[in-house]
Amino acid sequence: MEDPVSKKDTLLIVSRAATLYLLCWALSDLTYLPGGAIMLSRHGSDSLWVYELTNLVFRLARIAALFAAAAWFYKCGPRVAAYFLSEGKQAGSTDGPRA
């Protein structure tokens, strides 16, 4: 009988799958940037220009956040492991010394 997959290996697989998902989402959002830029140029002086600019800025921020999250998951460092592998804390427990 083969050894079961360790928690660390499972975490690595899940982390890489999450990275792939986030990268696909970010690349999908990248495809909307040219259309947003065209819409921004069409509304050069009317009130929709502010709306289109806001939409474009928030899309760029979301893409940057998705790439940053994908990089964080891909590294699968100790913070990711601690986040996913931490045991649930019991209510009322403290980690510090008691006075």
Please report the pLDDT score of residue 1 as a whole number.
62
Q: Is the pLDDT of residue 97 over 60?
A: no
Q: What is the mean pLDDT of residues 69-93?
A: 73
Q: Tell me: the pLDDT tens digits for 3-60?
A: 788 888 888 888 899 999 999 999 999 999 999 888 888 877 778 888 888 999 999 9
For residues 70 and 19, is the Cβ–Cβ distance under 8 A? yes
Helix (H, G, I), strand (E, B) or coil at 94: coil
Q: Looking at per-residue confidence, does 7 or 95 come out higher?
A: 7
CA 15 to chain centre: 11
- Per-residue pLDDT tens over the stretch 59-74: 999 999 999 999 988 8
Cα angle 87, 69, 30; round to 5 = 150
What is the Cα–Cα distance from 89 to 86, expressed in whole angstroms? 9
Average pLDDT over residues 79-92: 67
pTM, to two decimals: 0.74
